[in-house]
């Protein structure tokens, strides 16, 4: 996350395909590039195209791609503008409802197609909200004897059961349902705004 002097909050989560030190290094390079671009005032397609160029120049194989989700929350913390590049859609808890952010993905992953435009997903957050960005390791966990994945519907169900997003508890529940070590990396970022009482 980054918060420039204007008060907006910028957040990114991403997932480089594959496992190993090269992919981990590429993920770190993309995160640093994203931070530098945000601090330099880049947003939207300009930012994503530059990250795509960084990915293409730093990857070890032309088959490597990256999914990611970026969000910019306005300084008043009431609106978000998102880009979901082939990544799982965020979960939003606002106004007493739990829902998947509609309109995702807004375009393909980075590193696959050239000259791509990702459309912006505008989301009204309201006064009190929680926004969960996560990697597919969370929703690909299996939840029954048939080895069915949790999926986004299952994730929404677990959050509804909690009533709020308690990230540690949510991940513990997913691991308990999976009944063994998760087979994919899992990362999650939770942003929340609560009114002062």
pLDDT tens profile 15-62? 998 888 888 999 999 999 999 999 999 999 999 999 999 999 999 989
For residue 2, name the pLDDT band (cuts at 50, 70, 90): very high
For residue 184, name the pLDDT band (cuts at 50, 70, 90): low
Give the Cα separation of 21 and 120 in Å (integer).
Answer: 32
Q: pLDDT of 72-89, one tens digit each? A: 999 999 999 999 999 999
Total count of residues recorded for the chain: 197
Q: Is the pLDDT of residue 104 over 80?
A: yes
Q: Are 86 and 109 in contact (CB under 8 A)?
A: yes
For residue 163, name the pLDDT band (cuts at 50, 70, 90): confident
Q: Which residues contact 49 (CB under 8 A, 6 or more apart)?
A: 116
Q: Are 129 and 192 in contact (CB under 8 A)?
A: yes
Cis (ω within 30 of 0) for the bond into 105?
yes
Read off the tokens for 84: 């979901």
Q: Which residues contact 51 (CB under 8 A, 6 or more apart)?
A: 30, 33, 34, 37, 66, 68, 110
* pTM to 2 decimal places: 0.91
Closest CA to 138 of 189, 94, 97: 189
Least confident of 8-17, 18-27, 120-129: 18-27
- For residue 196, what pLDDT is reported? 63
């Amino acid at each position: 996350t980054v918060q420039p002097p204007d008060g907006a909050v910028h957040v990114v989560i991403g997932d480089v395909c594959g496992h190993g030190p090269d992919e981990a290094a590429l993920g770190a390079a993309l995160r640093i590039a994203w931070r530098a671009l945000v601090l330099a005032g880049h947003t939207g397609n300009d930012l994503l195209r530059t990250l795509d160029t960084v990915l293409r120049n730093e990857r070890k194989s032309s088959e490597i791609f990256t999914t990611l989700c970026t969000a910019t929350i306005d300084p008043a913390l009431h609106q978000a503008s998102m880009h979901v590049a082939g990544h799982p859609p965020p979960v939003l808890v606002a106004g007493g409802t739990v829902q998947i952010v509609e309109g995702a993905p807004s375009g393909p992953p980075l590193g696959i197609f050239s000259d791509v435009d990702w459309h912006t997903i505008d989301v009204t957050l309201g006064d009190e909200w929680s926004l969960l960005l996560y990697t597919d390791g969370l929703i690909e966990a299996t939840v029954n004897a048939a080895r069915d994945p949790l999926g986004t519907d299952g994730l929404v169900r677990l959050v509804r059961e909690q009533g709020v997003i308690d990230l540690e508890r949510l991940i513990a529940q997913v691991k308990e349902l999976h009944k063994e070590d998760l087979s994919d990396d899992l990362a999650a970022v939770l942003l929340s705004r609560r009114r002062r009482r």
